[in-house]
Amino acid sequence: MPLPRKAPTDPSLPPPGRPVLIAGPTASGKSALALRIAQAQGRVIINADALQVHDAWRVLTARPGPEEEAAAPHLLYGHVPRGAAYSVGHWLREVAPLLARHPDAVIVGGTGLYLSALTEGLADIPATPPAIRAQADARLRAGGIAALLADLDAATAARIDRQNPARVQRAWEVLQATGRGLTEWQALTPPPLLPREQATLMALAPDRGWLATRIAQRFALMLAGGALDEARAALPHWPDAPPGPAAPLWTRAIGAAELIAHLRGQISLAQAEAAATLATRQYAKRQSNWFRNRLGHWPQRALP
């Protein structure tokens, strides 16, 4: 049954009838903007954030709360159980039927790979066998990212983000498992599910100082709102191995490792808060750089 619609009297609202895609770094106000658009125009909101899909974290990943969920339908939030495999391919397969039912959805998130795969297509690369993954983990531990980079084919090595261990390891695993470089697989990418010319695109570009202040304030609010309780619930399931590219996806929520370290008596709560705030700022910087390099053609929406 279609959602009730309000007349779009606000000239800043996007044109009706087509999907809206909102990208931006963490704490940049994406969710609030998505909710304003959804409420004003009777749209649903679809999550495009790889951290917010996990059911283990609501507060720590700044997932919309009950009030926001009551104000507009929110889809693909907190639906992946702890420890379950989940990737951009899983997300695309879930988004396809949702877009068919809600062709004017607001799709919002900070995971650029989700948004680029949606609008540019995703190569159908076979899954990595566990034995290859184990080899990659061992090689990374023994020789660092340089050991993996040294084995990549020239085309992939020239294009990949050489500072991102997870991306480099993925490329190494693909080459070892298939005999084809990641770049060769990407050349076989099928047409996108949602070509970007068929959507309204928004890339949030906040002022760095404003964003840094927001990040510091938000983590303090997370602690007040129950983030430590979430970490305490996760503690019995937390892996013994230190966090890294091979860590389970659900453990990569920003601030989780720091709060776990506090609960294990390794650092004070103040130290955990400071470290998590710094990690969040660094994450936001990586996101902003990725968006600028990969989504630079998206219209920029200035913020304070």
- If one counts every other C-beta atom within 10 angstroms of the C-beta of residue 293, the result is 10
Residue 61 lies in a domain: yes
What are the residues facing 109 on neighbouring strands? 23
Helices (H) and strands (E) in the chain, counts: 12, 6
- Residue 277: the pLDDT is 97
Residues 112 and 230 in one domain: no
Residue 183 has pLDDT above 80, yes or no: yes
Residues 117 and 134 in one domain: no
Instruction: Sort 123 into a burial class: Cβ within 10 Å, 0-12 / 13-18 / 19+.
Output: middle
What are the residues facing 54 on neighbouring strands? 80
Residue 12 lies in a domain: no
Residues 201 and 213 in one domain: no
Residues 89 and 33 in one domain: yes
Residue 172 lies in a domain: yes
Residue 2 has pLDDT above 50, yes or no: no
Number of structural domains, the chain?
Answer: 3
Residue 4 lies in a domain: no
Domain that holds residue 75: 20-122+193-206+291-302
Residue 64 has pLDDT above 70, yes or no: yes
pLDDT digits (tens, 9 = 90+) for 18-38: 999 999 999 999 999 999 999
Structure tokens at 296: 């630079």
DSSP annotation of 224 reads H
Alpha helices in the chain (DSSP H): 30-41, 66-71, 88-101, 112-120, 130-149, 154-159, 165-178, 182-186, 208-225, 227-234, 256-263, 269-294
Give the CATH number for residue 140.
1.10.20.140
Residues 35 and 105 in one domain: yes
Residues 148 and 229 in one domain: no
Candidate from 75-84, 239-248, 262-271 with smallest mean pLDDT: 239-248
CA contacts within 13 A on the Cβ side of 41: 27
pLDDT classification of 136: cutoffs 50, 70, 90:
very high
Q: Quick check: 123 and 185 in contact, CB under 8 A?
A: yes
Residue 11 lies in a domain: no
Residues 27 and 94 in one domain: yes
pLDDT digits (tens, 9 = 90+) for 154-165: 999 998 888 888
Give the CATH number for residue 104.
3.40.50.300
